[in-house]
């Protein structure tokens, strides 16, 4: 079990495991664009594409190719340092973990929110999804799992953790501060843009606690499992309220 946990946190497993999520999101975005005339993209995806365009990289494929290139580079560099066996049972185990975590997330976070605010309803976290078609909502859910985890976990949590730990905080202290800070930003992000949530304290707390859970999962289990957990959680929520 320890070997499985260590292996599945490596770049080789985590990034390869997340590539099908990227493919599903891009194929889904192409589908809704052609079938429904919708050019909707996840907000974090749009943010990253906007930043790239400032640097002179524009076009629909620019960010996708950059993500694939960086993932490939990290995998190659890691595998040059040490031999990492790639085995199908480990990827299946990661898929099982992601499904279980996604199912548990709504129950645990929803219950915690209810303890803080009486009368909590699951519907408060639907946000802008209520005005979308099923296909649009599912595609945005997949994009949330991938790009929101890149922005809020890889960049924000990982960056804050590295800076705080380098400044003298212990790993535990740096982890707690980075998790809380990133969760606050993550929750607030869901109120931005035309498809953002209408402000409600219950939904903000729900998003914050979900952010804490995703950030902790990222530090413990890596990017791949966290991205799929987030995507599957959103997909399950969309299907539940469809």
Q: Give 237's contacts (C-beta < 8 A, 6+ positions apart).
A: 106, 122, 125, 126, 141
Residue 120's pLDDT band (cuts 50, 70, 90): very low
Tokens 């998790």 found at = 179
pLDDT of residue 122: 46
Apex 175 CA angle, 173 and 176, nearest 5: 65
pLDDT digits (tens, 9 = 90+) for 76-118: 999 999 889 999 999 999 999 999 999 988 777 767 766 666 5
Average pLDDT over the chain, rounded to whole? 86
What tens digit of pLDDT does each residue of 142-169 get? 999 999 999 999 999 999 999 999 998 9
Dist CA 206 CA 116 (whole Å): 10
Q: What is the predicted pLDDT for the residue at 110?
A: 67
Least confident of 67-71, 95-99, 205-209: 205-209
pLDDT at residue 191, rounded to an integer: 83
Mean pLDDT of 12-40: 92
């Amino acid at each position: 079990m320890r070997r499985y946990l260590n292996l599945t946190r490596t770049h080789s497993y985590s990034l390869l495991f997340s590539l099908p999520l990227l493919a599903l999101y891009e194929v889904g975005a192409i589908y809704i664009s052609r079938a429904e005339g919708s050019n909707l993209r996840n907000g974090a995806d749009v943010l990253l594409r906007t930043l790239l365009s400032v640097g002179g990289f524009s076009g629909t494929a620019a960010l996708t190719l950059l993500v694939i290139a960086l993932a490939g580079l990290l995998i190659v560099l890691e595998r040059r340092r040490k031999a990492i066996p790639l085995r199908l049972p480990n990827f299946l185990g990661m898929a099982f973990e992601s499904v279980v975590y996604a199912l548990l997330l709504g129950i645990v976070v929803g219950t915690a929110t209810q303890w803080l605010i009486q009368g909590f309803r699951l519907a408060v976290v639907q946000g802008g999804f209520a005005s979308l078609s099923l296909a649009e909502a599912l595609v945005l859910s997949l994009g949330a799992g991938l790009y929101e985890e890149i922005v809020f976990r890889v960049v924000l949590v990982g960056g804050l953790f590295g800076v705080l730990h380098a400044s003298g905080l212990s790993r535990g202290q740096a982890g707690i501060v980075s998790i809380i800070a990133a969760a606050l930003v993550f929750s607030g992000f869901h109120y931005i843009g035309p498809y953002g949530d209408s402000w409600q304290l219950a939904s903000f707390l729900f998003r914050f606690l979900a952010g804490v859970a995703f950030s902790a999962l990222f530090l413990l289990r890596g990017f791949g499992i966290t991205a799929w957990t987030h995507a599957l959680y959103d997909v399950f929520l969309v299907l539940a309220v469809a």
